[in-house]
């Protein structure tokens, strides 16, 4: 069978199918792990039971409308096209709806760390996953109090652990921060990935050791045949009974051609690496909450990541959020010179109800979908891979896949 897309989702699906006796070809236009999976914040977000919603706070909406923040930016020209998605996203983000979505989403998140560790152990790459958790730190007591209430709610309802920190507690954990903060929240159950790209590559090596193969190919050449599916690759035409579409932001290359109109949008994001100055060390990923940027210690240096950019998927880079964040981040932590020659940009594939699309294609035999993981692609790759493989093979599934079924958008 064929898996289209060699990011963390597709690679994980391919591994779990290969482990279950299927002969799998993993196909992508680029080499594995070079798109969205390359540039994330490197978190396995065990605490992330509430997917990232659209703000309903009037102050936040007004702030975003000015279009000068780090955590959100939009291209004016893209708004007419994005408006239907944004409206549905806003509707699903209302408190009652968001709460209901969290109940459906939590089972996926619950297995995120354990399923990653299972693959990392098999791949010999556990050294790339660190049990440090991550911190959210605050410049104002008001923000901290509100976030602590939310954290208590997540802990009581979903069993996720955190430590509330005062000013001294933050300084003890991260002594090289240069700003005196009111406090923070240290989520202790998540894990931090020291090198997301090489973690994905280690999973690809595991897939190949299991007998899987990787090839370059264009998903747009996929066509249905009498016996299944055919795809053109660098190795020539490939026929397969089953195909899994795990193309993330480019899933529409297949789905639209086959008549599926999923409300899939893209949130773009940027990162840059910096050398720390002197002997400065960042011990764990840290979010400067009020300013809206994220710092994470990586193999290449300290990675500064920005929030969401709403734009046409294929529009040229516009790393204005990174430009806004850099001086603030340098005043927050001793970042030195840039390491990368230019900012990296990636794209998160998002649905309006903030949950991925996972399951059998409603109108085509032997076609399966696995995309739309938004901010949690790296987090949910291995558990999604297991779930998809179990569904295809016909095994009992680790969790109930019904909440993520494609039919919720196709009728």
* Domain CATH code at residue 104: 3.50.50.60
Could you read off the pLDDT of 10-35 as tens digits, one per residue?
Answer: 999 999 999 999 999 999 999 999 99
Q: Is residue 363 part of a domain?
A: yes
Residues in contact with 286: Cβ distance below 8 Å, sequence separation at least 6, in sequence order: 134, 135, 136, 137, 174, 177, 294, 295, 296, 333
Cα distance between residue 298 and residue 289, in whole Å = 20
Predicted pLDDT at 58? 65
Q: Residue 263 in contact with residue 84, Cβ under 8 Å?
A: yes
Q: What share of the chain in percent tops pLDDT 70?
A: 99
From the number of C-beta atoms within 10 Å of its C-beta (0-12, 13-18, 19+), residue 141 rates as exposed
Predicted pLDDT at 57? 76
Could you read off the pLDDT of 134-152 as tens digits, one per residue?
Answer: 999 999 999 999 999 999 9
Q: Is the pLDDT of residue 411 over 70?
A: no
Q: Residue 5 in contact with residue 220, Cβ under 8 Å?
A: no
Could you read off the pLDDT of 383-404 as tens digits, one per residue?
Answer: 999 999 999 999 999 999 999 9
**For residue 266, which phi and psi values (nearest 5 degrees)?**
-125, 130
Q: Is residue 174 part of a domain?
A: no
Positive or negative, the Cα torsion across 388, 392, 398, 404?
positive
Could you read off the pLDDT of 48-93 as tens digits, one per residue?
Answer: 999 999 887 767 777 778 788 899 999 999 999 999 999 999 999 9
Q: Is residue 274 part of a domain?
A: no
Q: Is residue 12 part of a domain?
A: yes
Calculate the average pLDDT of the chain.
96
Cα distance between residue 60 and residue 4, in whole Å = 38
C-alpha distance from residue 174 to each of 15, 179, 349 (Å): 37, 11, 33
From the CA atom positions of the chain, what is the Rg in Å? Answer: 21
DSSP state of 397: P
State both tokens at 251. 């899933």
Q: Is residue 283 part of a domain?
A: no
Domain count, the chain: 1
Predicted pLDDT at 238? 97
Q: Residue 284 in contact with residue 272, Cβ under 8 Å?
A: no
Positive or negative, the Cα torsion across 144, 319, 317, 77?
positive
Q: Is residue 83 part of a domain?
A: no
Q: Is residue 1 part of a domain?
A: yes
Within 10 A of 359 (CB to CB), how many other CB atoms are there?
19
| Residue numbers of the domain that contains 220 | 1-53+93-126+195-264+351-411
Q: Is residue 357 part of a domain?
A: yes
Containing 14, the helix (H) or strand (E) segment is helix 8-19
Predicted pLDDT at 351? 98
Cα distance between residue 183 and residue 168, in whole Å = 8
């Amino acid at each position: 069978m064929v898996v289209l897309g060699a990011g963390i989702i597709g690679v994980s699906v391919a591994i779990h199918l290969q482990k279950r006796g299927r002969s799998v070809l993993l196909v992508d236009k680029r080499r594995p792990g070079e798109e969205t999976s390359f540039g994330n914040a490197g978190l396995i977000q065990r605490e992330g039971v509430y997917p990232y919603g659209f703000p309903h706070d009037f102050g936040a909406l007004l702030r975003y409308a000015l279009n000068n923040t780090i955590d959100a930016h939009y291209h004016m020209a893209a708004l007419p096209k994005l408006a239907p998605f944004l409206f549905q996203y806003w509707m699903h983000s209302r408190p009652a709806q968001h709460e209901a979505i969290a109940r459906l989403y939590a089972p996926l998140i619950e297995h995120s760390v354990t399923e990653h560790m299972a693959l990392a152990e098999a791949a010999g790459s556990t050294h790339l996953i660190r049990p440090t958790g991550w911190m959210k730190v605050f410049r104002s007591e008001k923000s901290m109090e509100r976030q602590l209430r939310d954290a208590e709610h997540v802990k009581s309802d979903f069993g996720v652990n955190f430590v509330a920190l005062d000013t001294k507690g933050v300084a003890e954990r991260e002594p090289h921060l240069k700003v005196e903060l009111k406090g923070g929240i240290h989520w202790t159950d998540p894990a931090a990935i020291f090198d997301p790209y090489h973690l994905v590559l280690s999973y690809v090596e595991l897939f190949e050791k299991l007998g899987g193969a990787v090839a370059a190919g264009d998903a747009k050449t996929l066509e249905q045949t009498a016996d299944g599916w055919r795809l053109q690759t660098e190795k020539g035409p490939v026929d397969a009974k089953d195909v899994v579409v795990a193309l993330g932001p480019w899933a529409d290359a297949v789905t639209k051609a086959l008549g599926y109109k999923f409300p899939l949008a893209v949130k773009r994001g940027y990162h840059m690496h910096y050398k720390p100055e002197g002997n400065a060390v960042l011990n764990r990923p840290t979010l400067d909450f009020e300013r809206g940027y994220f710092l994470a210690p990586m193999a290449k240096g300290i990675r500064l990541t920005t929030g969401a950019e709403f734009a046409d998927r294929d529009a040229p880079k516009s790393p204005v959020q990174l430009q806004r964040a850099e001086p603030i981040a340098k005043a927050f932590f001793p970042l030195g010179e840039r390491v990368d020659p230019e900012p990296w940009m990636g794209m998160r594939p998002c649905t309006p109800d903030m949950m991925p699309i996972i399951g059998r294609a409603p109108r085509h035999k032997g076609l399966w979908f696995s995309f739309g993981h938004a901010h949690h692609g790296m987090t949910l790759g291995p558990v999604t891979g297991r779930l998809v493989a179990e569904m295809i093979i016909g095994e009992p599934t680790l969790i109930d896949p019904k909440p993520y079924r494609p039919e919720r958008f196709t009728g």
